[in-house]
Amino acid sequence: MDLRVFSFVVSAIFGLSIFLVLGSPKEGEQPKVGFNLVLHRGENKCFHAHHWMTLLLLSIVVCTTVFMSQGCFNPYITGSLGFMAGASLADLRYTDFLTFSVPCDRRT
């Protein structure tokens, strides 16, 4: 097996495990470690950016940077992409993973 593929798979499993065991709160609760990114859009309206969205954006930036620099996907890069993919998969266990507009007030 190619070292890059192995690095991706092992890192994805590790990222998924870390986010499931240590980083993911129960449904409807706030995280104990880290934060929820909530952007206020107006009176009682907020945009909730799930962590899978931020990790996807970061993955796109990493891939774009590698392609633009004509670099290669070495095991360190594929490992970091694997970790982000695994961490993103942890968000799929929530029923609201595709809910972006949420009611809120200024104290949240």
Q: pLDDT tens digits for 20-41?
A: 887 666 666 655 555 567 777 7
Q: State the Cα angle at 72 between 70 and 73, rounded to 5°.
A: 135
Provide the Cα torsion 12, 15, 21, 25; round to 10°: -110
104 assigned to some structural domain:
no
d(CA 59, CA 74): 15
Is 102 part of a structural domain of the chain?
no
Written as one letter, the residue type at 11 is S
Q: What is the C-alpha to C-alpha distance for residues 66 and 102, in angstroms, rounded to an integer?
A: 35
pLDDT score at 35: 58
Domain that residue 7 falls in: 3-17+35-95
86/94 Cα distance (integer angstroms): 15
Banded pLDDT at 13 (limits 50, 70, 90): very high
* Report field, pTM of the whole predicted structure over 0.75: no
| pLDDT tens-digit series, residues 51-106 | 888 888 889 999 988 888 888 888 888 999 999 999 888 888 878 788 888 787 55
Q: Is 106 inside any structural domain?
A: no
Assess if residue 7 is contained within a domain.
yes
Whether residue 48 lies inside any domain: the answer is yes
What domain count does the chain have?
A: 1
Decide if 22 is inside a domain.
Answer: no
